[in-house]
Amino acid sequence: MSPTARVRTGAAFRAVLGLPLVALPFVAFASASAADAYRLVPEDKVTLRVVEWRSTEARYEPLEALNGLYKIDDSGNASIPLVGEIKAEGRTTTELSAEIAAALSKGGGSSMRSFISLEITEHAPVFLTGAIKTPGKFPFEVGMTVLKAVSVAGGIETRGDNMFLNYERDRIQAAGALRTASIDQRGLLLRAARLRAEIAGETSFKMPPQLEGVENAKAQADDELNLMRLRQVELDSQQEAAKDLNTLYEQEIVTLQAKIVAQQREIELAEKVLKAGESLASKGLTVNSRQFELERSVAAARGGLLDFEIALTKARQALAENARDTARITNTRNAENQLELNQVELALRKSELDMQVSQLLGNQAGIETERLKLEDRKISDMEPEYEIVRRNTDGTYATLAATETTELQPHDLVRIKFGLGGPAAGNTAAAPAGQRVGQASGAQTPQSASTDF
């Protein structure tokens, strides 16, 4: 409802409140005459307010059971408490409020004076489709024209508007993907060169020929070379530690061998003393305890020799294991490098494919963008055409040729398209609102070429 109509409604309300109390039990009032010309349709929403005068309390009391927002259903009825379903379609708010007042007066049984206010809160929608920026449904307004509906929907849109942006976005994305794949490929080429050099036991690598003169390739190559040197330092450190351990085992072996020689000499001497003691014992020149001590010394010396021989065997075994570990350090590094190199070569093939795809997508987006520019120049010579699809009272639909100033009705569907010399160009007379194409005096169905979007 317009502000003017609301002011008039408020004035009418105050005027009714000033009437003598001997009037009818229910008095209805609605919007001003401007709104009376509008007849309700399904999906319209109306606000009903009912108050009654309580003379015993000298005040007006709202009837909450009736007050509220009511939507006209698809059958054209409004369901109101104490009244039931009442026909609303095709009536003005004044006619409907009078009908409600009559129904309440007939069946309410109230002796108190009541007043009814009825206003349209929300109209049924209209629909816009075609060359429009935001197609969809929008609330109808009294006096709404095609141009106003188009402006509410964001304005006319040519086919190229969104498509051009989409292709431009695709082109930028393809360029970014190509750049990313190129950077990845550069790093993979340098890593592959480093890995091959490490496997070959070299201390540096050459710049791949594909990267000669490429921007920032030298800086990336220096980074890979620094990594290669750090990995070599790590490998040298592991090998040096293994070498030091090898030296310790060798020294231990030499020491044990010397101890074995000394122990063998000690055993020989102990056996000589034992034999001399046995000779004296046989002659009765020495005691048995002395002989026992000599035998125990020989046995202890032989046991010590056995310990040294076992320790020597363990030292030689540890030396052999350390030699295997030393070789394993280099072999493990080479195996890891070869595995990584295989993965890098696979990634290189994938990056090459990604670069080709990105380049093709970028070229395609560029071609489509240029094609759209040519089409936009053609469309710039066209005028928008408007058609209204409207439902008749018998349930059939009629297609109306329209102009920007054609007034709409609730539930109208407005289709916008472009054509050469369409209605906007003045070559075809458009039917006024509510008039079917072909039924207007002298009106003809447009026969111009058009392009749908």
Provide the CATH number for the domain around residue 406: 3.10.560
In a domain, 11, yes or no: no
| Those residues with Cβ within 8 angstroms of residue 162's Cβ, 6 or more apart along the chain or in another chain | none
| Those residues with Cβ within 8 angstroms of residue 385's Cβ, 6 or more apart along the chain or in another chain | 416, 417, 418, 419, 422, 423, 424, 446, 448, 450
Residues pairing with 86 in the sheet: 78
Tell which residue, 335, 331, 347, 329, has the closest CA to residue 192. Answer: 347
Q: Is there a single domain that holds both residue 242 and residue 278?
A: yes
* Dist CA 406 CA 399 (whole Å): 13
In a domain, 210, yes or no: no
Give the three-class secondary structure for 27: strand
Q: Is there a single domain that holds both residue 325 and residue 240?
A: yes
In a domain, 224, yes or no: no
402 HSE (CA, 13 A, CB side): 28
Q: Is there a single domain that holds both residue 72 and residue 111?
A: yes
- pLDDT by position in tens, the chain (length 453): 443 333 333 334 333 333 333 334 444 554 444 444 789 999 999 999 988 888 788 888 888 888 999 999 988 999 988 888 999 999 999 999 888 888 888 765 455 567 888 999 999 999 999 888 889 999 999 899 999 999 999 888 765 556 667 777 788 888 888 888 888 888 899 999 999 998 998 888 989 988 888 888 888 888 988 999 999 888 888 888 888 898 998 898 999 999 899 888 888 887 887 777 776 666 665 656 767 777 788 888 888 889 889 999 999 999 899 888 888 888 888 899 899 999 999 999 998 888 888 888 888 888 877 777 776 666 666 778 899 999 888 889 999 999 999 999 999 999 998 764 433 333 333 444 444 333 333 333 333 333 332
Q: Is there a single domain that holds both residue 302 and residue 412?
A: no
Q: Is there a single domain that holds both residue 336 and residue 267?
A: yes
Q: Is there a single domain that holds both residue 351 and residue 240?
A: yes
Provide the CA 326 distance to its chain's centre, in angstroms: 52
Q: What stretch of H or E contains 394?
A: none
Q: Is there a single domain that holds both residue 243 and residue 336?
A: yes
Radius of gyration of the chain (CA): 52
Q: Is there a single domain that holds both residue 307 and residue 338?
A: yes
In a domain, 452, yes or no: no
* Dist CA 40 CA 29 (whole Å): 16
Apex CA 84: angle with CA 83 and CA 86, to 5°?
Answer: 90
In a domain, 72, yes or no: yes
In a domain, 245, yes or no: yes
Region of 201 on the Ramachandran plot (φ > 0 left; ψ -120 to 50 alpha; else beta): left
* Dist CA 424 CA 14 (whole Å): 48
The model carries a pTM of 0.46
Exposed/middle/buried for 123, CB within 10 Å: 0-12, 13-18, 19+?
A: buried
Q: What is the dihedral of CA 255, 260, 263, 264, to 10 degrees?
A: -150
Enclosing domain of residue 266? 236-355
In a domain, 39, yes or no: no
* Dist CA 375 CA 379 (whole Å): 6
DSSP string, 432-448: PTT--TTTSTT------
In a domain, 76, yes or no: yes
What's the total number of domains in the chain?
A: 3
